[in-house]
Amino acid sequence: MKIAIIGGGASGALVAIQLLHQAVQPLTILLIERQNPFCLGVAYSTQDIHHLLNVPVSDMSVFPNDQLHFLRWAQNQHDLPKKVLASSITADSFLPRLVYGAYLQSTLDQAETNAKPGVQLERITDQVLGIQQTTNEATLHLQSGNSLQAQKVVLALGNPPPTNPNVDTPDFYKSDRYIRSGWSAQALKGLEPNEPILLIGSGLTSIDLIVSLANQGHCSTIHVVSRHGILPPGHRTNTPSPAFEIPSVPTLGHLVRKVREDLHGAETQGLDWRPVLDSLRPVFTKLWQSLTLKEKERFARHVRSYLLTHLRRIPSQAEGVISAMLQSGQLLVHAGRVRAYYEDSSGSIQVIIHPRGTKSEIVLHVRRIINATGPNYNYQTLKDPLVLNLLKQGVISPHPIGGLMTAPNGALLDTFKIPSNLLYTLGPSRVGDLGDLLSIKVIRHQALALALELLRHLP
Ligand SMILES: Cc1cc2nc3c(=O)[nH]c(=O)nc-3n(C[C@H](O)[C@H](O)[C@H](O)COP(=O)(O)OP(=O)(O)OC[C@H]3O[C@@H](n4cnc5c(N)ncnc54)[C@H](O)[C@@H]3O)c2cc1C
Ligand SMILES: NC(=O)c1ccc[n+]([C@@H]2O[C@H](COP(=O)([O-])OP(=O)(O)OC[C@H]3O[C@@H](n4cnc5c(N)ncnc54)[C@H](OP(=O)(O)O)[C@@H]3O)[C@@H](O)[C@H]2O)c1
């Protein structure tokens, strides 16, 4: 029996680890990755040690039932350079993401070694371009010209690159002074310290870029623009708030009102706002699923940006860099939308921005622009050959909010909303069904549940 996992990022690795752990019958797991080293994907392939996990060690174990597994592993890594690992690692430490990548790789290797006889893992470096299905089997067509057969297939395709913001001058996007994705290892390559730069987006990817710029001695202005112009706040250690009380009628309006009341309550008691928002985390998926489609669309338009920016926080190291740059005036944050870019023959770019809520314009002068507007979850607009192939066959169905339509067990729904018995998914592709808090803490549960589901239904 064979299970193919397409995508060797963290989600693919997590499900492979769980399959290796749980399988008792003979099984070959095919883990297929097109470009990144196995287990790293977009999030953990950074080589910059200043790019930290945005949650503490205790939230990053691969195993939902052994929350200190990552902590124990990290404490035993005596061969990692001192500057990578702080002298004492505790459950509250924020470690470099490259360390987490090494942890995933080591845990996968360990799971492979400890698997039952007949249970094996094959790592395949190739890109899946298309899938053909018969009743009980799928054939995967690869870029190399090879093909593979499997009885179950997991799509762990991950974070699609950002989309280009709509502007009056879209031809600019062909310029080599424009970097399509802030996750690219090349994003800051060749930038001179005295060249001003614009980052579009003010989320954690922009924070990564600002931290890297600081560490490479960038001395010119760093402009950041996003529609709301809010930077992620720092983490604080606080006493948790009581569990969030779900209103009896949990409409979006009631939920927003309840959160506002709780925030007001905390403020009047002189308490920090963070624990109030944190009380939403355990019930986030449940609340998300109780909303109607219209309410989800309203959430995406009016609430998502504020809520997620305040839930995705930065460690103190990054917070220190950002506040120093804001204070010195090197970092300038603009709330608004880019209207146009004009590049002259010397490579200088004039950027026209509409500040939020005004009809006026501001003009920036920069030498490079990096898109850090986040994953493009609109599968209808993706140019990925595999996604196009599956859409054309009607065997996957884009979710109106983003990602793909899925059944509760992770099976992909076709265009008639019928769950597949061959194709499954996990991770960022489930954003529409599960909401937009898809950290490792959430994906590790999906991986365990999906592994058990697949093993239960193997022919
Ligand atoms: C920059 C970043 C930092 C993050 N940091 C944290 C954090 O600190 N803590 C936390 O809990 N969560 C974090 N997350 C959230 C979550 O952990 C990540 O989204 C995680 O990377 C999801 O892994 P993935 O495998 O689903 O996606 P990806 O990392 O995007 O990996 C998908 C992989 O699939 C491959 N692939 C796609 N299509 C094909 C194909 N057709 N054939 C073969 N291979 C294919 C891609 O090459 C890629 O390597 C972060 C996310 C990002 C984007
Ligand atoms: N561990 C880490 O430190 C780390 C690092 C990077 C990423 N991540 C994770 O990776 C995921 C993606 O993060 P991300 O920062 O890439 O994306 P993101 O969290 O989706 O943020 C996107 C940013 O772009 C802005 N934006 C969106 N469309 C825009 C437009 N058309 N014009 C201008 N601004 C626009 C958004 O703000 P507005 O809505 O206000 O416009 C927001 O600031 C998240 O889950 C994040 O937690 C984690």
pLDDT along the chain (459 residues), means of 10: 98 98 96 95 95 94 96 87 69 93 97 97 98 94 98 97 97 97 95 98 97 97 97 89 88 93 93 93 92 94 91 92 97 97 96 94 97 96 97 97 96 97 97 91 96 90
Instruction: Enumerate the CATH 3.50.50.60 domain ranges in the chain, comma separated.
Output: 2-160+376-456, 170-233+313-371
How many of the other CB atoms lie within 10 Å of CB of 393?
Answer: 14
How remote is the C-alpha of 34 from its chain's centroid?
Answer: 18
pLDDT for res 436: 83
pLDDT for res 83: 59
pLDDT for res 240: 87
Q: Find, among 85, 141, 78, 76, the residue nearest to 110 by Cα.
A: 76
How many of the other CB atoms lie within 10 Å of CB of 124?
Answer: 20
Query: How far does the centroid of ligand 2 lie from the alpha carbon of residue 223, in Å?
Result: 15
Architecture of domain 2-160+376-456 in this structure:
3-Layer(bba) Sandwich (3.50)
pLDDT for res 135: 86
Q: What is the DSSP letter of 281?
A: G
Residue 22 near ligand 2, beta carbon < 6 Å: no
pLDDT for res 84: 60
Minimal-distance CA residue to ligand 1 atom 37 = 157
Query: How far does the centroid of ligand 1 lie from the alpha carbon of residue 268, in Å?
Result: 40
pLDDT for res 49: 92
Minimal-distance CA residue to ligand 2 atom 41 = 227
Q: In a mutational test of the pocket of ligand 2, which residue from 205, 334, 354 has the highest number of ligand atoms less than 8 Å from its CB? A: 205
> What are the residue ranges of helices labelled H in 312-378?
316-328
Sign of CA dihedral 312, 316, 319, 321: negative
Q: 130 has which bridge partners?
A: 141
Minimal-distance CA residue to ligand 2 atom 34 = 226
Q: 362 has which bridge partners?
A: 353
Q: 350 has which bridge partners?
A: 342, 365
**170-233+313-371 CATH pick, 3.50.50.60, 3.90.1200.10, 3.20.20.220, 3.40.50.720:** 3.50.50.60
